[in-house]
Homo-oligomer: A and B are copies of this chain.
Amino acid sequence: MVAKPSRYALASEGGEPVVATRDEAEELLFVPPLNFAMVDAGLYRSGFPESANFGFLRTLRLRSVLCLCPEPYPEANLEFLRENDIRLFQFGIENRKEPFANIPEDTIREALKVVLDVRNRPLLIHCKRGKHRTGCVVGCLRKLQRWCLTSIFDEYRRFAAAKARISDQRFIERFDVASMKRQSAGSFSN
């Protein structure tokens, strides 16, 4: 947290101020985004960040955000990215419910390339709820890291819970990792 107090004030736009000045900040609590978790070194996942989450996200010192929603990125979020020199990658995937779900493999593949490139980290992957689209990208990453499917699905379901989709799990199972270059795919890097 090296930003000047004047910058912190911007975090209050559209919600309660999370971080005000450095002194006050010592008393305030952080609000991670919905379904937030660490995936790997410098790699995080979550639902859509709101302004209430910006104070917390600053502590991650993100270099990039990867958004999997097709809608235009909200102005408040763009402002947050600009202020913190965070690059936005957007790979829009429609959130279609079963039985019409059709996960575009090419888009997931492009997203994964960004995820695997350590120059983009610290990186936050997010969609709307951090369950399905994010779950598919993380699931494919775990395949690259050679996790067994049981563990991959266990992790997927931990976030999707009652909303877990068979189509997502089938997509992950069928995803062809051999065709992807194994950039930094050797499991966790400390």
Please report A residues at the B interface, Cβ cutoff 8 Å: 28-32, 34-42, 56, 59-61, 121-122, 145-148, 150-151, 154-155, 158-159, 161, 186-188, 190
Judging by beta carbons under 8 Å apart, are A190 and B61 in contact? yes
How distant is the Cα of A158 from the Cα of B162 in the complex, in angstroms? 11
Are A187 and B147 also in contact (CB < 8 A) when A37-B155, A38-B38, A155-B37 are? no
B41, B56, B147: which contacts A29 (Cβ < 8 A)?
Answer: B147
How distant is the Cα of A174 from the Cα of B34 in the complex, in angstroms? 23
B30, B61, B159, B161: which contacts A147 (Cβ < 8 A)?
Answer: B30
B28, B37, B161, B187: which contacts A30 (Cβ < 8 A)?
Answer: B187
| Copies of this chain, count | 2
B60, B121, B154: which contacts A188 (Cβ < 8 A)?
Answer: B60
How distant is the Cα of A28 from the Cα of B148 in the complex, in angstroms? 9
Chain B's nearest CB lies how many Å from the CB of A46?
11
Chain B's nearest CB lies how many Å from the CB of A139?
13
Judging by beta carbons under 8 Å apart, are A146 and B30 in contact? yes
